[in-house]
Amino acid sequence: MRSTLHFLAGAEGAPGRSPSEERPSDDEALDAYSRVVTAVARDLAPSVANLRVTRRIRGGRTAMGGGSAVVITPDGFLVTSAHVVEGSRVGSASFVDGREMRFTVVGADPLSDIAVLRADAEDLAPAQLGDASDLKVGQLVVAIGNPHGYAGSVTAGVVSALGRSLPVGRRGGPRRMVENVVQTDAALNPGNSGGALVDGAGRVVGINTAVAGVGLGLAVPINEATRRIIATLMADGRVRRAWLGVAVGPRPLPPRVAGRLGRGSAVEVIEVVDGSPADLAGLHPEDLLVELDGIRLEGADDLQRMMTVERIGAAVKATVVREGELRAITLTPGELPE
């Protein structure tokens, strides 16, 4: 039995076609992924600034630092990471169109790692802010920034995880957890901090803040809470928060109390700051905070979420487990020291 091999004429063998006709056009060559990334890069690059920051260090010397920032209004307001401008009040911002201008730090909030800057311009290209609450794991995201000072650098990847927490705060000062941090595998490097993490529709859904390892970048989410912080910094230059003066952590409730309350966990007071509102109210280490103002506490983030400006100076009722017994304590949060 004889086998017959049939060959289809390839491009080279196709009669009557020139080499230019054989190659696909640029549009045909770009797949959907590439088209999204190139469109986002084109539209957002003018809205991301390369920052040069001068800060004073020990001994009266100065040090140069860098980072990125995102334009949010045409008249010069930009958002960046608080740690990028820590210790500085002024710097310079440059853009992909070649313009360079001075900026001042309007306000910084180390406990969200967000800062607002004001540049000397009236005609900047603002980015559109999105909502990280709508993100899904596996979704395409694009990081735009200035790693190692290379302006307008673009990397792409996916949302690797959501709901992460990131410890932030000024060196030697109070610490806090930023919740719902966006984890991405889009490559981030020094200088990307303060730059934009953008979804496929060209909306900024995060401010790149940290490199946690190879292929592991973190971004502070743009959401309702972040928008409030940005608006407050623009208006007042600082964010006020309530403060109890305790260090806490999750802990299981004693079985008898757990059965009575129908739940298994609370927040243990690990440390009480001398002279703090918690100290003045008689809160002790090893107390278990069950409720505050009628709201259940099962983790440190539950208590953190309640420490808003509205609670400064407002008495709240706390339910505490001490020596196995439920007790009621009245706390009056103060203002978190800067």
d(CA 272, CA 286): 10
Q: Are 269 and 277 in contact (CB under 8 A)?
A: no
Question: Which entry of 109, 113, 185, 199 is annotated as an active-site residue?
Answer: 113
What is the longest distance spanned by two Cα atoms in the chain? 100
Residue partners of 168: CB distance under 8 A and separation at least 6:
82, 83, 110, 111, 112, 113, 175, 176, 177, 178, 209
237: helix, strand or coil: coil
Q: Which long-range contacts (CB under 8 A, 24 or more apart) does 201-205 make?
A: 201/130, 202/39, 202/40, 202/43, 202/44, 202/128, 203/127, 203/128, 203/129, 203/130, 203/131, 204/44, 204/70, 204/127, 204/128, 204/129, 204/130, 205/130, 205/131, 205/132, 205/134, 205/135, 205/141
- 3-state secondary structure (DSSP) of residue 114: strand
Say how far apart CA 199 and CA 261 lie, in whole Å: 43
User: Is there a catalytic annotation at residue 148?
Assistant: no
Residue 113 appears among annotated catalytic residues? yes
Q: Is 97 a catalytic residue?
A: no
| Cβ-contact 181, 27 below 8 angstroms | no
Q: Which of 83, 88, 112, 153 is catalytic?
A: 83
Catalytic option among 193, 199, 287, 302 = 193
DSSP code for 307:
-
Mode of pairing for the β-strands spanning 203-213 and 196-199: antiparallel
Contact at 8 Å (CB) between 288 and 253? Answer: yes
- Mind telling me the catalytic residues? 83, 113, 193
